[in-house]
Amino acid sequence: MSDTYDAVFIGAGHNSLASALHLAAKGWSVAVFEQASVAGGAVKSGAYTLPGFQHDWAAMNLSLFAGSTFMKAYGAELAQNGLEFAPVANPFASVFPDGTWCGVSTDAAATHARIAALSPTDAATWDRLCASFGAEAPHLFGLLGAKMKLRALAYFMFKTLRAKGLNGTLDMGQFLLQSPRQWLTQTFTSPKVQAMLGAWGMHLDFAPDIAGGALFPYLEGMAGQAFGMVLGKGGADTIIRALCAAINARGGRIETGQSVSRIQHTSGKATGIQLADGREITARRAVIANVAPRNLPRLTGTASDFDAKLTAFAHAPGTMMIHLALSDLPDWTAGNALKSFAYVHLAPSLDQMARTYQQAKAGLLPDEPILVVGQPTTVDPSRAPADQHTLWLQVRMAPGQIIGDAKGEITATNWGEAALPFANRALDILESYAPGTRAKILGQRIVPPTELEADNPNLVGGDQICGSHHLSQNFLFRPLRGHADGATPIQNLHLTGAAVWPGAGLGAGSGYLLAQKLTGK
């Protein structure tokens, strides 16, 4: 087998694989090397508790992938290679300590009724937002899918001005700068509606008072109503398995269990990589590194101003994952209707979210962590034995390095000792909303932030989005000013992955944009 390729990839995350597939489709020879035993990065699935129970390791929601421009181009090919989706009509809900809940469904009348029970005014506002979403979406999704180059942004601004006028464009700009709390409290009167939508900001490191975060509660709310959600049939890794099969079918090469020790470069130009086993792989046109920014200088051996800025790249607080095999779904105090929702957020108020975020940022184990309770088997029963279920618990936020405990109960300051008591704190919260859930546990797997990073070095401190999306590190500045397209000072060496614009999520944006740039189409 040849050890010379047009493009060589470090890391087999979904952005790498999407990029490799596009390059292969354009006639490039490609090879992908992954240090883990399976491809996919944070997008993988397995029997992490008991045989027959299939869990998603980290990522679960595939909506961005299903709606991506990459999927539009390669969806048919991926389907031929085994990609299967499980559509979700009830994407998310929030439950509150007083036994009430609110949720968004593709059934507009049902969503309206739930919100109206909390605030008729908010229900009317929701209907107005939904009615205008079709007109707003092209501008917002156009920005999120745009190349972060001045010419591309100038063209985007020109189109927006022509469509929305000056005042409309300024209003959109102001909205993009707002914090979740600013937009939510100006738009809705019910604190519960505010919390239901505000929980989505926490998925992307936007606590309620962080500027620039209003966009995400809005988009998730509107998209959930308009399109629902998409999970992977049999597991989120359906996209990884299909991508790998499609690359192999086009003559590409994917090796797992292969660590890269060095990126080879001479006279300012990348020429290939060296594997930990000593093999050298030559790249004629591109070396593409899907690594956390701080890990790139270790591979290049350089120490430039660019490398120093990469090392200073800021990461979001971490996450703990708890995987549960259950004899039955939780019995929610708020009602059995919640069993039909893919996500149930236990994040009762904007103030609680803000407190939790600040505690984690300060290195403290939060006294009341936010729980994202995933119920994938309500949509995809194939993930568990008959009449049994899996539960996917994302515990947000968690410090990568523990300084103390905000509640004063856990004395351990290392995750080896703190993981179990902190997981029990999270399960206590779940039990308070769904009594008897503990008695249904057949098997469990606790994955603290340190294990997430050990499994995937891109998840620094358990940061599942590979870097904060705050305004100073987003858009033109992701990961650094002048490098939002993944370019580096070393010719033919490129970055991709969640740390590169357009950032986290499973839209394959950075990988696909890079491949299009390299091929010119």
Amino acid 502: pLDDT: 95
- 167-222 per-position pLDDT tens digit: 988 989 999 999 999 999 999 999 999 999 999 999 999 999 999 999 999 999 99
- 286-342 per-position pLDDT tens digit: 999 999 999 999 999 999 999 999 999 999 999 999 999 999 999 999 999 999 999
φ, ψ of residue 102 in degrees (nearest 5): -150, 140
CB under 8 Å to 483, separation ≥6 — which residues?
306, 495, 500
Q: Are the beta carbons of 208 and 347 closer than 8 angstroms? A: no
Q: Are the beta carbons of 301 and 309 closer than 8 angstroms? A: no
- Calculate mean pLDDT across residues 401-428: 98
Amino acid 358: pLDDT: 98
At 121, the pLDDT band (50, 70, 90 cuts) reads very high
SS (H, E, C) 41-110: CCCCEECCCCCCCCEECCCCCCHHHHCCHHHHHHHHHHHHCCCCEEEECCCEEEECCCCCEEEECCCHHH
- Calculate mean pLDDT across residues 357-368: 98
Instruction: Please report, for residues 148, 326, 410, the alpha-carbon distance to residue 201 in angstroms, rounded to integers and kept in the order given.
Output: 22, 29, 28
Decide: helix, strand or coil at residue 6: strand
**DSSP 8-state code for residue 462:** G
Residue range(s) occupied by CATH 3.50.50.60 in the chain: 4-43+237-313+465-519
* Low-confidence winner among 59-63, 161-165, 394-398, 432-436 (lowest mean pLDDT): 161-165
What is the number of other CB atoms lying within 10 angstroms of the CB of residue 411? 10
Average pLDDT, the chain: 96
- 337-353 per-position pLDDT tens digit: 999 999 999 999 999 99
Class in CATH terms, 4-43+237-313+465-519: alpha beta
Q: Tokens 């596009």: give the residue.
A: 22
Q: pTM, whole model, 2 decimals? A: 0.96
**Position 18 pLDDT exceeds 60:** yes
Amino acid 268: pLDDT: 96
- Calculate mean pLDDT across residues 23-43: 98
Amino acid 158: pLDDT: 82
- 57-111 per-position pLDDT tens digit: 999 999 999 999 999 999 999 999 999 999 999 999 999 999 999 999 999 999 9
Q: Quick one: residue 455, left, alpha or beta (phi over 0 = left, psi -120 to 50 = alpha)?
A: alpha
Amino acid 160: pLDDT: 86
**Position 151 pLDDT exceeds 80:** no
Amino acid 1: pLDDT: 53
End-to-end Cα, the chain, rounded Å: 29
